[in-house]
């Protein structure tokens, strides 16, 4: 190529382009030009050469070059002393440059460090929605120019200039090399291939193959020129720009590392002055090489991806590049490709310089100028070829336009919305533009102009973009902000006139879902009932509701979110018929859960409203009936929690019989959820106690009969429970309630049932999904049981202490763990009980219930029976202590011996010689073999001596003398 021609092509590459073809040219380095490609994979760095003007006659003048190069670039002469890429680097809009004063430049420098706030919705949040929405079943293809692999000699065989030329040829070969086309790809195959290219880019960069990385980015960018499968274009844009973002980040981080490598520069407080020469040269090299890309689309995208790198060159670099890149997009002929290019530029611009609103606005205004192309012959013919309707084509613009508008409207003044509305009117109220305006600007701005927007919507042409989508966008804004109060009814009527005429059920429900929020926020149950009736009317034919469960669920959630008074909610005539549309069980259950959750949170007062009770019983029954063998435990707990919340809020006041009838009905309805049955039993017991409190002890026959009915309810219900300790504790609790209500026969029945259940306690029980030994739980239960048995009077037909005897027999027959001492601990607690029963007056009583202290009055026969039981229990304890006289069990023997000694000391009469002698033996046993804790023994002995000084305790003095402390020698 002649020098003049090469220079002209290189210069052309640096100027804004009007077409999307191969109109640019690659730069060629002069043989003697210096290369500074130390790190960046062979990318040649170009240094600016300053030359004097060469005369046209061919005579040469003296040349002044940079210190790094002594050879004059032959292309410089043709361009009057400046190489084309140097001109590219220096290119700037002269008008814009002249307009920038020193003060504005300082202001811009400060602004470039600004960032968008958390109130700006990031691109990442939109990415997944676009990929999910814009799909295709057509076959896709990827055209890649992979370049031929040519054998090359090692680096040592080349001079520096040859090395530069070789690496340029690599890129040339890539652009002109063999084409690799992947055909008949499914959408998933296409996505996988793009992800592979993204990974290849990262791998190439990590292995210091910077040229290869650039090749991948260029070729991927070229794919954005292809609209052969137009429905997939928005998703393709997302996938390709992911690669561009990766590339831009890699380049920026690489150059930044050159600046902060010496740790003298903080990445958080970086300025162009902080960039060293190496970083600046590397940065320039990237921009120069990108400028030599032939095709407009890849040249634009690749440069935009590294826009942030301009900050290494100058404080005004970004502000100067954005207008140039904006103008460059004018050369893209396809309006769809063009608008997504503008969206990408706006995205990058918001990331690096969100304060530069001029470029954002310019992109929008340029788009408006070319908007009529959408309805031109070229686009229409293209749609005919692909068999795509205009109504399917126009929504493809939405993601790009919505993003551009979001960037423009971010923290923009309200007057900008007025200007945008005027521009939309000038374009004939184009529906697509109007929709993007309503999607982008703050909801408060849109809401105050709702009537104006409705007027504009009415005048829109529905071709390609139906009005119901515009009303939906308006409704989304009104769900977030309130319109003027005087306009609210008019707005609802105008919107619903359009919505109710929609024939397509999916279009209808999408709009109705949005506007139901507006209706619930501002109107009464009358209007809400009208909306629900209209939804039922549209969604019932042909069971259209089966395809719209998410929207129907959304409507229900909005209704119950605004109507916390359930008496009002269930008086809405169409509410329950609306629920009947949820035929799918899983969805129906979720809706019921939402209703019950709101009821529990907002129902603060108990209710007996029959409308609420009947409706919520139906709702709870639906949740309960969904439980089966496959239902997870967490789900069961959640359902039981919701049902129990309802049960707790039902109160009939002093109409106790009606309350009990409700509990009976609830038991029959919720018999498969154990936590609900437990709650019902507790509720019935509380009801029985409430009856006692209200009647103030005046038990009539009717009251007594009612309490017995409550006891019968519990006695019948408890056996249906699965958890054995749940049953044991409920038997005990119900027996205590019956005893408190003087229902002695019922109390005996509960206690007998509990005693008969003890042998069924398994060795291991399931606690929160883990198997654990049960003895500690049994021990705790029996201790509580012993405390209750103290005040339970003996039955006249069953002999003295009949319940205690039955319980001791069960404990004796229970199979305890071999290495467990729980049985002896239980016997020790029994001794405490028997000691308390031998007192003339018991420690506590139940009102109007005569315990054994009153029944026997200290009768000698009763005391004799009590003593016999004590001797039997003590014999069992001593036998167990004797069995522990083994090396491995001596510590256990010592501990149990001291524990038994303390029990005798606290509860026994040590004036009894036999008991006194036993305590001395136990003291020695505890210290035998040196197993006892000396400090504990000393404190125990000190306690005995201190207690011996109390009245009637002189006998302890003698005992203390018989309790020596053994020393360890």
CA dihedral 147, 151, 157, 158 (to 10 degrees): -20
The secondary structure of 98-142, three-state, reads HHCCHHHHHHHHHHCCCCCCCCCCCCHHHHHHHHHHCCCCCCEEE
Q: How far is CA 466 from CA 62, 367, 424, in A?
A: 71, 22, 16
∠ CA 351-353-355 to the nearest 5 degrees?
A: 120
Decide: 617 and 662 in contact? Cβ < 8 Å.
no
What is the residue whose two structure tokens read 């292309």?
A: 75
Task: Report whether 873 contacts 827 (CB < 8 A).
Answer: yes
Residue bearing tokens 């027999």: 809
pLDDT at 97 over 90: no
In this predicted structure, which of 49-53, 132-136, 367-371 has the lowest mean pLDDT? Answer: 49-53
Radius of gyration of the CA atoms of the chain, in A:
44
Residue 490: pLDDT over 70: yes
554-569 pLDDT, tens digit each:
999 999 999 999 999 9
Model confidence band, residue 267 (pLDDT cutoffs 50, 70, 90):
low
Output the pLDDT for position 702.
Answer: 78
Question: Which pLDDT belongs to residue 168?
Answer: 52
Q: Are 255 and 282 in contact (CB under 8 A)?
A: yes
User: Cα–Cα distance between 471 and 331 in angstroms, integer?
Assistant: 35
Task: Give residue for tokens 């504790």.
Answer: 729
Q: Which of 408, 423, 301 is nearest to 369 (CA)?
A: 423
233-245: average pLDDT: 93
The rounded mean pLDDT for the chain is 81
Count other C-beta atoms under 10 Å from residue 937's C-beta: 18
Q: Which tokens belong to 123? A: 């691109």
pLDDT of 99:
34
Counting residues of the chain whose pLDDT is more than 70, the rounded percentage is: 81
Q: How far apart are CA 517 and CA 513, in angstroms?
A: 7
Tokens at 735, concatenated: 């027996």
User: What pLDDT shows up at residue 165?
Assistant: 55
Residues 854-867 have a mean pLDDT of 86
pLDDT of residue 967: 64
Which long-range contacts does 585-588 make (Cβ < 8 Å, 24+ apart)? 585/626, 586/626, 587/549, 587/553, 588/622
pLDDT at 59: 36
Note whether 567 and 612 are within 8 A (CB): yes
User: Does the pLDDT of residue 704 top 80, yes or no?
Assistant: yes
SS (H, E, C) 48-99: CCCCCCCCCCCCCCCCCCCCCCCCCCHHHHHCCCCCHHHHHHHCCCHHHHHH
* Exposure on the CB side of residue 913, measured as CA atoms within 13 A: 0
Residue ranges of domains in the chain: 119-145+178-261+269-373, 516-627, 652-753, 761-865, 888-968
DSSP 228: S
| For the ranges 497-501, 694-698, 856-860, the one whose mean pLDDT is highest | 497-501
pLDDT above 90 as % of the chain: 41
Q: What is the pTM of this model?
A: 0.68
Dihedral, CA of residue 937, residue 941, residue 943 and residue 945, to nearest 10:
-170
Beta bridge partners of 185: 140
593-644 pLDDT tens trace: 999 999 999 998 999 999 999 999 999 999 999 999 899 999 999 999 999 9
Average pLDDT of span 244-255: 91
């Amino acid at each position: 190529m002649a020098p003049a021609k090469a220079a002209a092509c290189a210069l052309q590459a640096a100027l804004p382009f009007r077409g999307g073809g191969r109109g640019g040219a690659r730069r060629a380095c002069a043989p003697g030009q210096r290369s500074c490609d130390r790190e960046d994979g062979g990318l040649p760095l170009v240094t600016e050469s300053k030359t004097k003007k060469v005369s046209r006659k061919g005579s040469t003048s003296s040349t002044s070059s940079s210190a790094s190069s002594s050879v004059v670039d032959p292309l410089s002469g043709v361009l009057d002393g400046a190489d084309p890429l140097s001109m590219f680097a220096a290119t700037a809009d002269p008008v814009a440059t002249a307009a920038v004063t020193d003060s504005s430049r300082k202001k811009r420098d400060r602004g470039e460090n600004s960032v968008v706030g958390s109130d700006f919705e990031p691109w990442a949040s939109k990415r997944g929605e676009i990929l999910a929405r814009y799909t295709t079943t057509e076959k896709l293809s990827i055209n890649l120019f992979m370049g031929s692999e040519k054998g090359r000699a090692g680096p040592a065989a080349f001079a520096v200039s040859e090395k530069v030329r070789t690496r340029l040829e690599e890129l040339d070969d890539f652009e002109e090399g063999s084409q690799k086309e992947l055909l008949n790809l499914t959408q998933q195959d296409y996505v996988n291939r793009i992800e592979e290219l993204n990974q290849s880019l990262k791998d190439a960069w990590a292995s210091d193959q910077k040229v290869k990385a650039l090749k991948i980015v260029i070729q991927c960018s070229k794919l954005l020129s292809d609209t052969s499968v137009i429905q997939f274009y928005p998703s393709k844009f997302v996938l390709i720009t992911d690669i561009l973002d990766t590339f831009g980040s890699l380049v920026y981080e690489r150059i930044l590392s050159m600046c902060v490598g010496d740790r003298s520069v903080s990445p958080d407080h970086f300025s162009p002055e902080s960039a060293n020469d190496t970083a600046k040269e590397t940065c320039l090299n990237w921009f120069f090489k990108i400028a030599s890309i032939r095709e407009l689309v890849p040249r634009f995208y690749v440069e935009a991806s590294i826009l942030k790198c301009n900050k290494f060159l100058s404080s005004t670099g970004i502000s100067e590049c954005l207008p140039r890149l904006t103008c460059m997009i004018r050369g893209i002929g396809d309006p769809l490709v063009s608008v997504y290019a503008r969206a990408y530029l706006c995205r990058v611009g918001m990331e690096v310089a969100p304060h530069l609103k001029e470029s954002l606005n310019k992109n929008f205004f340029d788009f408006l100028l070319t908007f009529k192309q959408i309805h031109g012959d070229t686009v229409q013919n293209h749609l005919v070829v692909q068999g795509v309707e205009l109504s399917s084509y126009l929504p493809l613009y939405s993601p790009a336009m919505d993003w551009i508008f979001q960037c423009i409207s971010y923290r923009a003044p309200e007057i900008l919305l007025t200007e945008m509305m005027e521009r939309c009117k000038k374009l004939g109220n184009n529906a697509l533009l109007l929709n993007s305006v309503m999607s982008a600007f703050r909801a408060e701005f849109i809401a105050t102009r709702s009537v104006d927007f409705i007027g504009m919507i009415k005048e829109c042409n529905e071709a390609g973009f139906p009005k119901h989508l515009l009303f939906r966008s308006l409704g989304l804004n009104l769900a977030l902000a309130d319109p003027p109060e005087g306009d609210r009814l008019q707005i609802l009527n105008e919107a619903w006139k359009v919505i109710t005429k929609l024939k397509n059920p999916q279009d209808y429900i999408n709009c109705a879902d949005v506007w139901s929020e507006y209706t619930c926020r501002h109107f009464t149950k009358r209007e809400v009932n009208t909306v629900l009736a209209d939804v039922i009317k549209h969604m019932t034919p042909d069971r259209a509701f089966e395809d719209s469960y998410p929207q129907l669920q959304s409507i229900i959630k909005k209704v119950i979110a605004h109507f916390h008074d359930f008496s009002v909610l269930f008086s809405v005539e169409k509410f329950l018929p609306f629920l009947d549309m949820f035929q799918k069980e899983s969805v129906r259950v979720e809706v019921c859960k939402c209703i019950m959750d709101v009821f529990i949170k907002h129902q603060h007062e108990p209710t007996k409203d029959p409308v609420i009770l009947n409706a919520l019983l139906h709702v709870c029954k639906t949740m309960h009936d969904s439980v089966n063998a496959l239902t997870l435990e967490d789900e069961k707990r959640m359902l039981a929690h919701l049902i129990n919340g309802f049960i707790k809020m039902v109160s009939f006041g002093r109409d106790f019989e009606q309350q009990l009838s409700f509990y009976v009905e609830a038991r029959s309805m919720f018999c498969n959820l154990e936590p609900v049955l437990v709650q019902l039993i507790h509720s019935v017991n509380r009801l029985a106690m409430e009856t006692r409190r209200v009647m103030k002890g005046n038990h009539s026959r009717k009251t007594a009969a009612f309490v017995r009915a409550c006891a019968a309810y519990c006695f019948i219900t408890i056996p249906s429970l699965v958890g054995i300790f749940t049953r044991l504790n409920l038997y005990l609790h119900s027996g205590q309630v019956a005893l408190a209500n003087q229902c002695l026969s019922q109390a005996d029945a509960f206690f007998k049932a509990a005693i008969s259940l003890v042998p069924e306690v398994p060795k291991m029980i399931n606690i929160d999904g883990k198997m654990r030994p049960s003895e500690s739980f049994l021990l705790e239960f029996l201790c509580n049981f012993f405390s209750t048995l103290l005040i339970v009077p003996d039955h006249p037909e069953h002999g003295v202490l009949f319940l205690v005897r039955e319980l001791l027999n069960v404990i004796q027959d229970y199979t305890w763990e071999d290495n467990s001492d729980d049985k002896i601990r239980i016997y020790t607690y029994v001794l405490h009980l028997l000691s308390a029963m031998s007192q003339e007056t018991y420690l506590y009583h139940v009102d109007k219930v005569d315990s054994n202290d009153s029944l026997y009055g200290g009768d000698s026969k009763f005391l004799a029976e009590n003593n016999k039981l004590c001797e039997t229990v003590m014999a069992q304890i001593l036998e167990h202590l004797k069995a522990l006289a083994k090396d491995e069990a001596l510590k256990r023997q010592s501990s149990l011996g001291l524990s038994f000694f303390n029990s005798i000391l606290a509860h026994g009469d040590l004036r009894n010689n036999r008991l006194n002698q036993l305590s001395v033996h136990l003291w020695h046993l505890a210290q035998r073999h040196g197993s006892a804790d000396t400090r504990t023994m000393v404190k125990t002995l000190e306690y005995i001596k201190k207690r011996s000084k109390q009245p009637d305790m002189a006998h302890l003095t003698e005992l203390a003398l018989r309790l020596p402390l053994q020393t360890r020698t």
